[in-house]
């Protein structure tokens, strides 16, 4: 694998964009980092099947410190619901580990189509729903967190993303978080999900032939350094920006991001021959 200055510049810019979006909207940035990594790896001569798995595994490894920095920044402002976030995170970690194993056996196109369609549906639901007000958590809410954590984690592991695009609207609609609480708490949950998924991709890729240099399993450390080096500080910037914007504006920005993520995953842009 040969990395040029152009490739390095693309990865650095990708890390900046992904980190800012992660802190601002509570998403992991995988919809940016995964396709960019896949294109660069394939262009460098890496087998396409290995390229997509490396892109997924490395993306989750990048999300881990990025989400951690964003979660700490949000927590300092008192927006993170720790109990709910930890319950969602622990069950999600187990699910993400299992999901990453599944990703090595199930057709990737089917999973992206299902998840992309679901994200679009929830985005429409979130766009048409009324703003939710803060209210006290109950025992039922805690149980719902435990119930939702595992399947969300599995989806995250299968798709190689930390799940912010699904978790934030779920928290707002099903768990009745405010938009600020949902964005902040999703960052904490993504720490757990990305850790479980990344470790699984790393372990399941050990001993595989044809991996590019600086790889441990399906995690490429060269790409990780370039992406994480920019995304971590930019997640802090994004988190600060999130608290300066009205909740409704954040909600609209998030819905726009969700539509893009959903259409990208379903392959709608490719079907319409749009270079997006």
Tokens encoding 262: 């959903």
Q: 183 lies in a domain? A: yes
What's the alpha-carbon Rg for the chain, to the nearest Å? 17
pTM, 2 dp: 0.78
Q: 163 lies in a domain? A: yes
Q: 3 lies in a domain? A: no
Q: Counting beta carbons within 10 angstroms of the beta carbon of residue 233, is it exposed (0 to 12), middle (13 to 18) or buried (19 or more)?
A: middle
Tokens encoding 221: 């450390």
φ, ψ of residue 216 to 5 degrees: the values are -120, 105
The number of distinct structural domains making up the chain is 1
CA distance 191 to 67: 6
Domain hosting residue 231, numbered range: 8-271
Q: What is the pLDDT of residue 71?
A: 87
Determine contact, residues 71/188, Cβ cutoff 8 Å. yes
Q: 187 lies in a domain? A: yes
Residues of the chain with pLDDT under 50: 132, 134-135, 137-140
Residue among 75, 183, 176, 180 at smallest CA distance from 135: 176
Other CB atoms closer than 10 Å to residue 241's CB: what's the count? 14
Q: 2 lies in a domain? A: no
Q: What is the pLDDT of residue 34?
A: 82
Q: Counting beta carbons within 10 angstroms of the beta carbon of residue 104, is it exposed (0 to 12), middle (13 to 18) or buried (19 or more)?
A: middle
CA distance 156 to 79: 23
213-255 confidence digits (pLDDT tens): 999 999 999 999 999 999 888 878 887 777 776 766 777 777 7
Q: 182 lies in a domain? A: yes
Q: 114 lies in a domain? A: yes
Q: What is the pLDDT of residue 275?
A: 64
Q: 1 lies in a domain? A: no
Q: What is the pLDDT of residue 117?
A: 79
């Amino acid at each position: 694998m040969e990395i040029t200055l152009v490739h390095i510049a693309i990865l650095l810019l990708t890390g900046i964009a992904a980190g800012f979006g992660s802190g601002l909207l509570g998403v992991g940035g995988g919809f940016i980092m995964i396709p960019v990594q896949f294109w660069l790896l394939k262009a460098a001569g890496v087998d396409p099947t290995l390229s997509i798995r490396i892109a997924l595994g490395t993306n989750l490894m990048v999300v881990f410190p990025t989400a951690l920095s964003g979660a700490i920044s949000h927590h300092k402002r008192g927006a993170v619901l720790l109990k709910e976030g930890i319950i969602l995170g622990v069950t999600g970690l187990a699910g993400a580990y299992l999901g990453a194993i599944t990703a090595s056996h199930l057709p990737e196109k089917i999973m992206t189509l299902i998840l992309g369609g679901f994200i679009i549906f929830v985005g429409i639901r979130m766009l048409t729903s009324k703003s939710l007000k803060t209210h006290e958590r109950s025992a039922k809410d805690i149980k719902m967190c435990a119930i939702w954590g595992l399947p969300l984690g599995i989806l995250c592991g299968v798709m190689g993303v930390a799940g912010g695009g699904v978790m934030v609207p779920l928290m707002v609609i099903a768990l009745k978080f405010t938009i600020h609480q949902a964005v902040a708490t999703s960052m904490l949950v993504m720490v757990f999900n990305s850790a479980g998924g990344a470790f699984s991709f790393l372990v399941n890729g050990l001993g595989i032939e044809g991996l590019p240099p600086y790889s441990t399993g399906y995690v490429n450390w060269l790409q990780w350094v370039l992406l994480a080096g920019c995304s971590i500080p930019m997640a802090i910037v994004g988190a600060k920006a999130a608290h300066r914007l009205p909740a409704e504006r954040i909600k609209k920005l998030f819905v726009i991001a969700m539509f893009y993520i959903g259409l990208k995953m379903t392959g709608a842009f490719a079907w319409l021959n749009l270079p997006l």
